[in-house]
Chains A and B, each alone.
Chain A
Amino acid sequence: MPTIIACYKWVLDEQDIKINPGSLDLDTSRAKSKISDYDRNAIEEAVVQAEQSGAEVASLTFGNSKAKQSLKDALSRGPAKAYWVNDALADSADAFVTANVLAAALKKAGQYDVILCGEGASDTYAQQVGPRVATLLGIPAITFVSEMKIEGDKVIATRKIGDCTEVVTSSFPVLVTVLPEINKPRIPSLKQVLGAAKKPITEWSAADLGLAAEQTTAKNKIKSIKGFVMSRKNVIYKDGTPADKVAGLVASLKKEGVL
């Protein structure tokens, strides 16, 4: 029975993050966490493919202790079990570190025929962990996939890369990064939510994975993270009849020379 592992990241919901008007520092104190948007597609695709090909699905994540909440969420979406590398190192990890950790965890998990990842995380959108992990494991990576199917021990995937599509075929084991258009994640039902509580969770620390300090140290230094504020004119017509407001706008646009 083939094994499909879906990797996901537990991220802060960017909608809850505020920018301090003076310092432009980010205020994440009220931010809730979620499974990164495209990773939900990865988990869903893993489950859909497993349903069709009789494979077993597991989820894998690398996060600090707060990521515990994510396990119920992930498991309620269909995987049979969850792997969790629980380590505070996640707070300072860049893609280089994350890929090292995930690759080591996958090796420790033992079997992986198809590894699914989102094409990028909703917080950093660095779009690199997937192919990095594949390279570390010495397996092929098929990125930006909009459609896939499993036939025997092969994956046939359609990539959508800007101005063309191409169909790529690879034998197991292979890593695939998915585009959000690949599927629409189903909302877990009551039974699935309840079932999640009973599924097995394997927890490791980074030390359990036998990684050297160099592999878990981020490559570059972050000098600053500041809120991006566009300074625009903000001339907004709110009062009066629609005709008044339109007249105001047209006058402004004429002055700007665009009409």
Chain B
Amino acid sequence: MSEEEKFDAIVVGAGPAGSACAYLLAKEGKSVLVIERGVSAGSKNVTGGRVYTYALELLEPGLHAEAPLQRKVVREQIMMLGEKSGTTVDYVDYSFNGEVPQSYTVLRAPFDEWLAGKAEEQGAMIAAGIRVDDLIIQDGKVVGVKAGEDEMYADIVIAADGVNSFMAQKAGLRNDITAHEVGVGVKEIIELPPEVIQQRFNLTGDEGAARLVLGCTEGTTGGGFLYTNKDTVSLGVIFAPEGAAKRGKKIHEIFQDFKMHPAIYPLIEGGATVEYGAHLVSERGWKGVPKKLYRDGFVAIGDAAGFVLNTGTIIRGIDLAIVSGIAAARAVLGAKDSAGVGPAYMQELETLNLIPTMKLFAGFPEIIDIPRIPAVYPAMASEIMNFMFKIDGKVPPKMTKEILRIVRKHVSYGDLLADGWKGVRNI
């Protein structure tokens, strides 16, 4: 084995987790090889989405100012759709647009490419267009990777290869994902002039809005999202594939109905779709994170480790990916020997608040799983709102009586209580 074939670290995947990890390691003088399956970093990635800037600043202060980001999110919105109606809670908070804005909407191709470029600047080698086929394991320790005919060795292999991590499976840390553990996300990027986006979403300059939508998945567990970018809008749906299959609904049909909904369509009217994308999304939260995220010579970070959070109001993935990349890099830099890297990594994940945060929201997938959430409650809420605002000259029924009637029409008290109890327990 010649000098050329050995690196201090091999990172599999040049997404945010892999690039952040490579960045730190290279910065501290480690020899790092990042192997990316796609033709360029980010070409295989899809996001809603947005990135929370604290993570970029954690990687390197001032980094957010350099990154190719879209709009600074000041409007956080939650929407519930009825058949022909929508109820939106719109929270605008200009403090989110401080000196370091809290979050930016983002487009993955330029962002991932940029972050990988930053890692390269620090001295990491990036090999794109190469798929890693297997790990090289000797005496129970991971010592390298195999790509085609080539073998590369390293003191540590860091798996940053995304939601259905092949590397984590090869390392024996997880099995192939089941349909139950993931959602399927589909999205379109729709072109609109910036002024039109600003008008429709009530934004000034480079401000942005982020919206999560319930009631658009035709009864299947899931929800929609909408993020405003500079001159495009990201619109998409995530839902449980099993549920969709059971109801005989095709993915693109559900998505088209969502686009055409009278409360959504005016927001994107006149826009041209410039990109389609689809991707799997971890839906299990903390419970979906493998019991062990490391073994001798190997750690898993980012989506490969299941680090995605969906609280129903907020979705986080990119920041967690970057933080986990930082955690892994710190562990590698600080560990005395290869066996110490894993435990040091878990410790860093605690110190950097990633694990405590994932644990805090561990119960949320249970809430999101409640079948009535996508199927019943949005319709129920819409009917209540309709009653509240309907004026037709007739004498309306008494408010409390009517609201209770509507509730009972949609859900039994028993179910309501059960759902409420599940909600309270899991929050």
Contacts and interface: CB of A to CB of B under 8 A. Distances in A.
Report A-B touching, CB under 8 Å. Answer: yes
Interface string B261-278: 000000000000010000
21 contacts: A30-B274, A187-B129, A188-B129, A188-B130, A189-B147, A189-B149, A189-B150, A190-B35, A190-B127, A190-B130, A190-B147, A190-B148, A190-B150, A190-B152, A191-B150, A193-B127, A193-B128, A193-B129, A193-B130, A194-B125, A194-B127
B44 to A, nearest CB: 14
Contacts of B150: 189-191
Interface string B143-157: 000011110100000
B418 to A, nearest CB: 42
Interface string A189-217: 11101100100000000000000000000
Interface size class of A (residues with CB under 8 A): 10 to 19
Interface in A118-174: none
A37 to B, nearest CB: 15
A187 B131 CA distance: 11
A33 to B, nearest CB: 11
A166 to B, nearest CB: 38
Nearest to A69: B40
Contacts of A190: 35, 127, 130, 147-148, 150, 152
Contact of B148 (A30, A189, A194, A197): A189
B274 A189 contact: no
A189 B130 contact: yes
Contacts of B32: none
A13 B152 CA distance: 32
A27 B292 CA distance: 49
A191 B4 CA distance: 10
Interface residues of B, number: 14
Given A189-B147, A189-B150, A190-B130, 6 more contacts: A30-B274, A188-B130, A189-B149, A190-B35, A191-B150, A193-B129
A194 B33 contact: yes
Contacts of A189: 130, 147-150
Interface of A: 18, 30, 187-191, 193-194, 197
Q: Which 9 A-B pairs have the closest CB atoms?
A: A190-B147, A193-B127, A190-B150, A191-B150, A190-B130, A189-B148, A189-B150, A190-B127, A194-B127
A92 B147 CA distance: 41
Contacts of A18: 274
Contacts of A188: 129-130
A238 B78 CA distance: 36
Contacts of B4: 194
A155 B372 CA distance: 75
Contacts of B274: 18, 30
- Most chain B CB neighbours (cut-off 10 Å) among A187, A190, A193, A197: A190
A193 B152 CA distance: 13
A188 B129 CA distance: 8
B124 to A, nearest CB: 12
Interface in B27-61: 33, 35
A187 B127 CA distance: 13
A198 to B, nearest CB: 9
Contacts of B33: 194
B384 to A, nearest CB: 37
A30 B110 CA distance: 11
A219 B385 CA distance: 70
Contacts of B130: 188-190, 193
A39 B35 CA distance: 26
B27 to A, nearest CB: 19
B70 to A, nearest CB: 16
Interface in B365-402: none
Contacts of B127: 190, 193-194
Contacts of B35: 190
Nearest to A29: B274
A148 to B, nearest CB: 27
A189 B4 CA distance: 15
B45 to A, nearest CB: 15
A187 B4 CA distance: 21
Most A CB atoms within 10 A — which of B4, B130, B149? B130
Contacts of B148: 189-190
Nearest to A192: B150
A189 B33 CA distance: 14
